Chain A
């Protein structure tokens, strides 16, 4: 195969484009800008840490099943870890959202970074909702019977039936976590491509 043919291969072009946009030293940098030394910049990675905990505990719950998480001490413990990881995930994500909103984090060509964050937030709400609907207890019965009227009013009830436990569980453990994780990965990659948004300049020069 000639060099020209190799250069024209989609794998070669994709690799060159990927490494051009995101070289390894940019993907895993050794240093960060000085302005990142602030607590407000910590909440993005805190959200990521909570997400990892949510996925790990969710995998354990998936392996052992509802009888285990309702009927054993360790099951209760892992179930609680899963719930509290989600609570911390949303808590840190909202503080991260406020920080980035007041920083106008979409500046400097970061629109897509901001938008992937917004869509990840929405996907996370849907994931949490289907999680509440999949608990298989009185709480999930109450939530789903209350939610069905709202969902039916939107016209989505025929395709997204909150009273169908199997469907809610599949959305909760397959489709929505996949969307949330892919979107989060894209969000983090975009942060690495565009860099962390700087704060507003302290002094603004006005030219007459």
Chain B
């Protein structure tokens, strides 16, 4: 419980959210973070080695 109270103090939720505005693109900070996380996950999914892939290729 104390952890979540501390987390709540770090991320104040009682005011209007932060928004980014570039031309026609209008994004909230939270949505921007999610999009960046999805891009990072996508790149990691392509680049990160899959466990056991090498041994499977050798097996074949």
Contact with B along A77-121 (1 / 0, CB 8 A): 000000000000001001100110000000000000000000000
For the complex, count residues of A whose C-beta is within 8 A of B.
12
> Chain A contact residues: over half helix, strand or loop, or mixed?
helix
Q: Please give, as numbers and ranges, the residues of chain B lying within 8 Å of A43 by CB-CB distance.
A: 45
> Chain B contact residues: over half helix, strand or loop, or mixed?
helix
Q: Please give, as numbers and ranges, the residues of chain A lying within 8 Å of B38 by CB-CB distance.
A: 91, 94-95, 98
Residue A40, interface by CB 8 Å: yes
Distance in Å from the Cβ of A39 to the closest Cβ of chain B?
4
Q: How many A-B residue pairs have CB under 8 A?
A: 36
| B45 and A42 within 8 A (CB) | yes
- Tell me the bound Cα distance from A94 to B36 in angstroms: 12
Cβ-neighbour of A99 out of B42, B48, B50 (below 8 A): B42
Residue in A closest to B34 when the chains form the complex, CB atoms? A91
**A residues at B contact (CB < 8 Å):** 34, 37-40, 42-43, 91, 94-95, 98-99
